Structure 1
Amino acid sequence: MATATDFLRVIADPDGANIDIVAVHGLNPTNSEYHAEQTWTSHVSKKLWLRDFLPQQQTLAKARVLLFGYNANVAFNTSTAGVSEQASNLLNRLDLKREGINDRPILFVCHSLGGIVVKHALVTAKLDDTYEAIRLATYGIVFFATPHQGGKHANLGDIAAKIAKRCLRNEDNSFMEALKKDSLFGEELVNNFRHQIEDFYVLSFVETRPYRKLGLIVDRQSATLGLSGKREKQVHLAADHDSICKFESPEGDDFELVIGNIRKMVQNALNAELERKRMDDLSVPVASLTLKEPASRNYKLGISLSGAPQIDDDIFVGREQELDQLQEWLAPTPSRQNRVVVSGLGGMGKTQLSIHFAKQHHDQYSSIIWLNAKDENTIRAGLVALASRILGGTERDVLVKHLDEDQAVRFSRQWLSESDNKEWLVIFDNYDDPRIPGIKSSTGYDIRPFFPDRDQGSILITTRSSRLSFGDADAVKLAKRLDGLPLALTTAGSYINQTADSFRSYLQMYEVSWKDLAENSDELLDYEDRTLYSTWNLSLKRIEAQEPEAVQMLRLMAYLDNHDLWYELFQKGAESMPTWLSNVVKSRPRFNKVMGKLQEYSLLEVEVDAQSGQYSLHPCVHDWTLECLNCELNNELFRLAVHCIAENTMWDTEADFWIGNRRLGQHVSRIESQRIKESVDWNCVKVEDMYKIAYLSETVGRTVQAETMYERALAGYEKAWGPEHTSTLDTVNNLGLLYKNQGRMAEAETMYERALAGKEKAWGPEHTSTLDTAETMYERALAGYEKAWGPEHTSTLDTVHNLGNLYADQGRMAEAETMYERALAGYEKAWGPEHSKVIMVKKNLELFT
């Protein structure tokens, strides 16, 4: 039987409830019988705001509110075991309360150490399938003064002990000593929770007033989780540790600020649930896209090898035994999923084998999908493209504006998991960097989360192997000398076809090339690599005699990703390029001629079914360009590669900018790869290019790379022009924005203050650049922009929109709505109804419908 301190009680239960808000109190060392209620109740008005105020608010009228009570004294006094027990208690009680409504979104609201209980509960739910539905339904967590890490002057255990001292109002005792030493505040919980925290949105309310003589209990640093982008938001309240979650009336300023932010999170949770239902039920329109009824859904997409290297079926020979085995193992079966892994050395023909199999047996599968599995980003890009195919040829531009990348990936996986869709084949090609248990890797990843959930369909994975396989004993002399490596044979064949040399003369030249390579290569270079590299060296010498600029292009491409190489990538910014590259890109026909020369010798491939004019390098060729052609990395070519990426960076004022920038993201990953970034001199790179790469990285969510690049750009600007130059201050301001989006508010504030002071000194308080700098300056900025450029200029409208966001965050909803409507009218007039900013403002206005 539940005691007065052990319950999960419904305190608001409207008809047609659409979300569960679960309130969890913190430490109760005095073991007060009514601590669960008192945590949220005003000392003066005696109003429990979760029950008395929240249900009266817009958007929250249909929220069911539950109050969790537990013996916090026992929980925290018995260390980790006690907290884990109460976390399980919370999960068990919540599971019973949600019987039959598992899809209803959940929002946890926690005070102080109650957040530790909730974090333990979500870690437990991840490990225990019994509570998986609760974890999946959890949209966000609202923390009131919850410590997540040590503060400026105390570790996490000390902060917990300080909270106990606040409750007990007495001197240190054994209970507080136990809290100080307790492992429950150590790295295990932090690491386990951080592993899944990106699944949730976090809203943290931070105390700013001291609690009596104890001062601040949980400071800003301790109250920060440090999540990326928009996952975490911090709001500072004029309250101490005790009063931060108590409100006397619904008209109070702090309550308006709190409820406005909670209302926004609830609305986002409801929108996310609606989107999930749309994805589950394809009969409901997704944004402006109307999908077919279940009975008429099309699971027959046919074969798509978009992005895969092109192979000539006429010259694909042999491998009959392997093809027969694949046919046997991958034949569609209704009762289980077939999985086959093809492993082998680089250049052995794994990709060619998989593509040939797909073409040969395409009529046996309802759909064949090829995905580049080089890393998680390339897989995700492939699944986004699949979502577009599934939607039956509707406009891709409309799709990407209404579905973000995560939704599109989830949509594709759900489609592959539908019960009537069992006869597909998915090829994960080039999965060469798997995450291996027990081995730390900065790049390795687990491919399994990209598999469909249901046990059906067929999956083919190609990956490199460290084991050497030899060719046929009856192979011709050249094939024997090349160890039967198809890529080496292809290169040799291309060379012979392009020259008048005989097999005998080619073999003699090969032996000389081999000897030279063996004498000058690293002893650790694999034997099979030397075999391939020798054949390519011969081709390279021939190309250099015919088209020397093609060799330079090959060397340049070593610093870019091996996929998606197109004319404009090299052509933009041609006026500042070296003469040889300007000659290559002076026209598209000239560019194609140079690339065609590399293609003639099988050193370059045309991507099939890709956008027009895209080239790619085989991974083995790509390795060779870096390890041999550029054995001593060339700073000038590296600088040039960075410049090519930077010149193609798109700003957020351009339509579909994130699509273009994501396309460049894989090339940024290449210049940031360990082998390159540690061997080149970044001082050779233009500071403006560093700035653009930083911005590009930020727009595609690569915040770590963005921060590194901004810091490099800042150092470059300071060195070249001084700390008060406008470009320096722009970079300072962008770093501030990046820190803010990461929840690093103290660092963001420092950057804002520096940028604002510098710009005011340089231009005065009314200059438009000064007015861009900080959130606190939006109203001042708006007046300045209107005066300088007029009310309909896009910069004026951006500030109007930002003011709307600020008012919404403060709970000033009427003023927010006015600003959003003004921004919407201006954006539609400037850019039309389909622009990304128009769609963004419309989503914000949904809060008021």
Structure 2
Amino acid sequence: MQTEPRGFRSRFKEVVKLGSVADEISGHRVRIQELRSNFVLMAVIDINFHLHKAPSIGISSNLPPIQVTQSITKCPPPSRIFHGRKIILDQMHQFFEQDLGKQHIFLLHGLGGAGKTQTALKFIQKSSSRFSDIFLIDTSTLETIDIGLKNIAAARNVGSTADDALQWLSTQSVDWLLLFDNADDPKINLHRFFPPCNHGNILITSRNPGLRVYAGSHSLVSDMEELDAVELLLTSAGENVTPGNKVTAAEIVQALWYLPLAIIQAGAFISKSGTLGTYLDLFKKNKARLLREQPTQSHSDYAWTVYTTWQISFDQLSEAAKTLLQLWSFLHHESISEEIFSCASAYKPQSYPSGPSEEELCEPIKFISQFIDPAGVWDSLHFIEATTEMKSYSLVNFDPDKKSFSVHPLFIAGLELHSRIHKHIIILWSP
């Protein structure tokens, strides 16, 4: 258009020619935009989108075909500051490499904030070439599981239902991997969503150790080794690894009981405030506040703080289990036995004139009566049901050899105690 016209006729031909080219360009733009819209729609709907080659919808045969030679998975990489878990990762590698040709199921279980998902993602990053396809499924609810499986079916063009995806996986003899992440709801029967076949690989992250019944192998993801915890704290805090800083960091991670999420939160706070040398004193005086604080800048994409993570699990418990767990906060975090409570249930105020009156013990007696059967005998089954609830969210651990429970010390410190709970401790005095 900037060319000087050389007469009316030349100008007319130029305009006609430009118009024709403009129409072709416009047509190509429309077709390309249609292709782009279809691609974006698929990618948005299918968070587990698995792509081997792009479809040629709406592309002119004159245009070169789009080729994608590498499969794409939607598993995010692990955190850049991931540290440790070597023993667990080695165990996972060994498990998935043995007995090729059979279905492998591995469970990572533990308390919220212990790093189960990060450990799974680190394993996948280091072993991606081992698997032909990798699919991530959010297993938080039945709905998210259904969506995840439907997305697999749609992406592989084998149907539109979860059953279609499971059937397709069962017919694929290649070494695919399904990551069922956040399988925390004990009311979901996860076995329903395993492909019905004798091949493939399944990796599960869950707070529920009860899922061990499905797994060929499992590992408890708990507190970190001290050297790894120190390195994680200094890295997340942006501090230099000097001898003095390592000593200070060791004291801090010990106070945090080597819990990864607590360490990352502390590192974010130290990075923002520059308080490495004074953090321990601040933490001792403001433990609850610091463990509830959500840092704006952090290496972690985790949506919740330490206490929020545990509160979500705590809220799922029955009232009996909640009260029992709150009561445990008055005890040492280890060696909590059923016998303490069964003996307490036998306490008779009238037998101890110098002890608390029946009126004073009204509320504790009401609570402990939930674990006494109609015949007035201690009901072990009811107690087991309450403690099983706690165990299903990894809020407590059980040692079958010692027949005793333990609670993470940080969790005990974070329990929301009501004034009425203080009265319950009285009944623990047994004859």
Provide the TM-score with structure 2 as the length reference: 0.45
**Higher helix residue share:** 1
> Which of the pair has the greater relative contact order for Cα pairs under 8 Å at 6+ separation?
2
Provide the TM-score with structure 1 as the length reference: 0.24
